[in-house]
Amino acid sequence: MAFKEGIDLDSIAYFNERFVPLREATINIMTHAFQYGTGIFEGIRSYWNENEKQMYIFRMKEHYERLSNNAKLLRLELNKSIDELCQLTLELMKKNNPTCDMYIRPNLYKSGIIVGPSLINKNGSNPTGLSICTMPMGEYVDISKGLHVCVSSWTRVEDNAIPARGKIQGSYVNTAFAKTDALLNGFDDSIVLSRDGHVSEGSAMNLFIIRNGKLITTQVADNILEGITRDTIIELAKKELNLETEIRQVDRTELYICDEVFFCGTGAQVSPVTMIDHRPIGTGKVGQLSKQLQEIYFDVVKGKNSKYKKWCAPVF
């Protein structure tokens, strides 16, 4: 089928144990997840390799492993194995037959039609639903130039409140606050801090800085998503550039005096930041290491680097 930018309601989705047109994949307004945000999701990218006429889904297994682990946070009952989820996704992609870069969105959610925030599935009253849909996706942010971002006045939610390690639907209101304020104030995006004032991550992506030739990223204990792209960058930096990553707390003022900054994530991919709070980072231009890592990353995700084909699941 032909695809264009945006959400195609005639595309096929997986919903309630069957494949249906996306326009038919609907829930009741009293669904627990709609009322209380009690669900988790994943964002998975797939990349079209024009030369090979092949679609590669990047690190699909790792995303579903994270979904399965994080289901425990909300007492979600996943009745499918990782392999079954991967096979369902491959089947769905084949049904939609896209020939452009795609985004895959699995949702695991409390599907009970009940009032009350309890996560307990008492006598089957609040079972778990699963949906998977796909859509074309280009660049989440403009990665061809450096981003101008701000440090947000909104702090990242704490692990003991709503854990950031889980992509919990309701917690993305925190992201929406930070992102919206940044856009309204003329910035491209934002960086959020933890409650104690240390750098956490971007509004919806992990963050790296480069200082004196060292690659540094924030620690999981500072309320970040345990990012799969973050893990990918750490491995690529070590194997391709012989560059170890230091994982530690990062102060806000380190952002202003470091040499380079970039975001990374499924949506952001590798997005250089060249200005923070109206202060130029380094030379104020996209840094050399950020650019190198960006180029390496895109070769890997499109299946062009044979050393990392294990991460790329072919669809066709």
pLDDT in tens, 131-181: 999 999 977 677 778 999 999 999 999 999 999 999 999 999 999 999 999
Angle, helices 60-70/82-96, rounded to nearest 10 degrees: 130
Tokens of 211: 């200082």
Query: How many residues does the structure list for the chain?
Result: 316
The answer to whether residue 5 sits within a structural domain is no
pLDDT at res. 138 = 78
Domain identity same for 77 and 174: no
Tokens of 73: 């946070």
Domain identity same for 185 and 249: yes
Location of structure tokens 């690190």: 59
| Closest by CA position to 132, among listed 173, 93, 168, 77 | 93
Q: Please confirm, yes or no, whether 167 is among the known catalytic residues.
A: yes
pLDDT at res. 66 = 98
The answer to whether residue 306 sits within a structural domain is no
| pTM strictly above 0.85 | yes
CB neighbourhood size of 138 (10 A):
8
Among 115, 136, 157, identify where a domain stops.
Answer: 136
Tokens of 13: 């989705």
Domain identity same for 167 and 277: yes
DSSP notation for 250-288: -BHHHHHHSSEEEEEETTTEEEEEEEETTEE-TTSS--H
Domain identity same for 160 and 288: yes
The answer to whether residue 315 sits within a structural domain is no
Beta strand residue intervals within 62-188, DSSP E: 102-110, 128-136, 147-155
Of residues 4, 94, 122, 167, which has the active-site annotation?
167
pLDDT at res. 158 = 96
pLDDT at res. 144 = 74
CA separation, residue 21 to residues 93, 95, 215, 228 (Å): 13, 11, 45, 30
Domain containing 42 equals 12-136
Location of structure tokens 């909300």: 74
Point out the residues of the chain with pLDDT beneath 50: 1-3
pLDDT at res. 143 = 76
pLDDT at res. 172 = 97
> CB–CB of 37/170 below 8 Å?
yes
Domain identity same for 53 and 82: yes
pLDDT at res. 75 = 98
- Cα–Cα distance measured from residue 81 to residue 60, given in angstroms and rounded to the nearest whole number: 13
pLDDT at res. 1 = 36
> CB–CB of 265/231 below 8 Å?
no
Domain identity same for 125 and 156: no
